[in-house]
């Protein structure tokens, strides 16, 4: 069979290249959704994006801080720097930050950290180092929309989604579902090499209690599975008036060596979420597994942080007084925006997951608004609903790409200024009402 490109000519690429080229046109999709930030006066005609997880509540604060520093760049800012794994200044600042805020049982040192251009590139490198093509990585259902690609697109690890049915995936009892998914994969010939723990969870916006973290460590240790703990929303945990909300406990904050061989525990963090610095592209890996660190270091040349990003990030990390105030303000604003989003959804009878107290999003149930005439199954109906949202210029991330167990769930991002959030939900409601809601 001849691989062809979009013009039906025989492909001039390798099999790998042709496979990549035959996928979705990500540039066109990104242009439509990310091509401009909606503003009621300056930019009213673009799609209003309440589906991408960025903390728009704090972007101006970061910009004001950097501008206040009046940073002067000299020639050395434009050279290659100390290497491809982050400057010693950046790693020192990040180590100090983690020690202050994550309260690790054993303090993190500068030399134990490796930096890259964001966590996406880190996951790609970790996947290449931990798994051979076709090996499996366990992901929760639902799961962060990009994990499957992060580990699968070039590292070629196979995502194995863990269904929990109606059980609480944040309880220690969830281990039996991980066990069932692992066994099913192994029986079908897929060797499980890693488990991706998104903590706090994206898109559910909840934290794992310590007893569940321990149970996951013991599960991974039993089967020699690498546990990758992504704690990128750790400082975006805020108070909500719900008794089921669980505070954040880092996997680093207790003696994990009692439960898992340290060579199988790896921690990632980055600046795109808590710091509202997605544009800086700073991701950090901590691991005691020297082989993993060396393997990642061997390919970080393809994911260099860059000297200028490094400088800006270090400047932020070193100003502890400003940063403490920034994080406190962020949590306060996120809590207020979370409250407003829930209020607006309650007014329209739209259900959402309870106990969410972390991150920038709510997992909302639009299942009642899926139309039978839109397809033979729920996933087709969900896609048609998403297309109608785009026609009315509002975007939410649909559940299918996030490994939802049931169709009709969407991730709504509320970390926007009030005028944006209100308009986004207003447009969403218009879509639902036009569909003959309920």
- Reported as a single tens digit per residue, the pLDDT across 356-414 is 999 999 999 999 999 999 999 999 999 999 999 999 999 999 999 999 999 999 999 99
CATH 3.40.640.10 domain range(s) in the chain: 75-320
Residues 6+ positions from 20 with CB-CB distance below 8 Å: 153
For the record, the structure tokens of 190 come out as 């897929």
Cα distance between residue 48 and residue 50, in whole Å: 6
> What is the rounded average pLDDT of the residues 289-309?
93
- Kind of pairing between the strands at 113-116 and 283-287: antiparallel
Cα distance between residue 52 and residue 187, in whole Å: 37
For the record, the structure tokens of 406 come out as 């049931």
Look up the pTM and report it.
Answer: 0.94
CATH 3.90.1150.10 domain range(s) in the chain: 15-60+323-434
Q: What is the DSSP string of 264-291?
A: GEEEEEESSSTTS-GGG--EEEEES-HH
Q: Please tell me the predicted confidence (pLDDT) of residue 142.
A: 98
27-79 confidence digits (pLDDT tens) = 777 777 777 788 888 888 889 999 999 999 999 999 999 999 999 888 888 88
CATH of domain 75-320: 3.40.640.10
Q: How big, in percent rounded to 5, are the helix, strand and coil portions of the chain?
A: 45, 15, 40
- Kind of pairing between the strands at 265-270 and 361-365: unpaired
State whether residue 161 is helix, strand or coil: strand
163-210 confidence digits (pLDDT tens) = 999 899 999 999 999 999 999 999 999 999 999 999 999 999 999 999
Fold of 15-60+323-434: 3.90.1150
């Amino acid at each position: 069979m001849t691989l062809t490109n979009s013009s039906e000519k025989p492909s001039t690429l390798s099999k790998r290249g042709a496979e990549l080229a035959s996928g979705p046109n990500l540039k066109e999709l990104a242009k439509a959704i990310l091509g401009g930030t909606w503003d009621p006066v300056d930019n009213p005609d673009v799609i209003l994006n309440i589906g991408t997880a960025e903390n728009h509540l704090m972007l101006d604060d970061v910009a004001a801080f950097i501008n206040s520093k009046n940073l002067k760049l000299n020639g050395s800012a434009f050279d290659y720097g100390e290497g491809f794994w982050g400057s010693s200044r950046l790693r020192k600042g990040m180590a100090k930050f983690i020690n202050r805020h994550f309260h690790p049982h054993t303090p993190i040192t500068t030399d134990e950290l490796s930096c890259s251009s964001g966590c996406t590139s880190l996951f790609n490198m970790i996947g290449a180092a931990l798994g051979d093509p076709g090996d499996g990585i366990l992901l929760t259902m639902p799961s962060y929309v990009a994990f499957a690609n992060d580990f699968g697109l070039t590292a070629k690890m196979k995502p194995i989604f863990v269904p929990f049915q109606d059980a609480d995936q944040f309880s220690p009892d969830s281990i039996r579902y991980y066990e069932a998914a692992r066994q099913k994969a192994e029986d079908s010939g897929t060797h499980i090499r890693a488990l991706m723990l998104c903590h706090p969870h994206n898109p559910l916006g909840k934290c794992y209690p310590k007893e569940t973290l321990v149970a996951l460590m013991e599960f991974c240790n039993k089967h020699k599975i690498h546990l990758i703990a992504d704690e990128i929303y750790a400082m975006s945990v805020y108070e909500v008036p719900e008794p089921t909300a669980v505070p954040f406990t880092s996997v680093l904050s207790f003696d994990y060596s009692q439960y898992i061989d340290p060579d199988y525990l790896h921690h990632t963090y980055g600046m795109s979420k808590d710091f509202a610095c997605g544009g800086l592209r700073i991701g950090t890996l901590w691991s005691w597994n020297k082989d993993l660190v060396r393997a990642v270091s061997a390919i970080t040349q393809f994911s260099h942080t860059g000297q200028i990003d490094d400088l800006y990030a270090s400047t932020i990390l070193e100003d502890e007084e400003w940063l403490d105030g920034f994080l406190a303000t962020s949590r306060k604003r996120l809590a207020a925006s979370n409250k407003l989003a829930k209020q607006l959804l309650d007014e329209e009878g739209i259900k959402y997951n309870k106990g969410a107290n972390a991150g920038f999003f709510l997992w909302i149930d639009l299942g009642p608004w899926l139309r039978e005439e839109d397809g033979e199954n729920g996933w087709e109906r969900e896609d048609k609903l998403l297309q109608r949202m785009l026609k009315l210029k509002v975007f939410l991330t649909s559940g299918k790409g996030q490994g939802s167990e049931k169709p009709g769930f969407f991730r709504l991002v509320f970390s926007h200024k009030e005028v944006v959030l209100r308009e986004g939900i207003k447009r969403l409601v218009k879509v639902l009402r036009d569909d003959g809601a309920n």
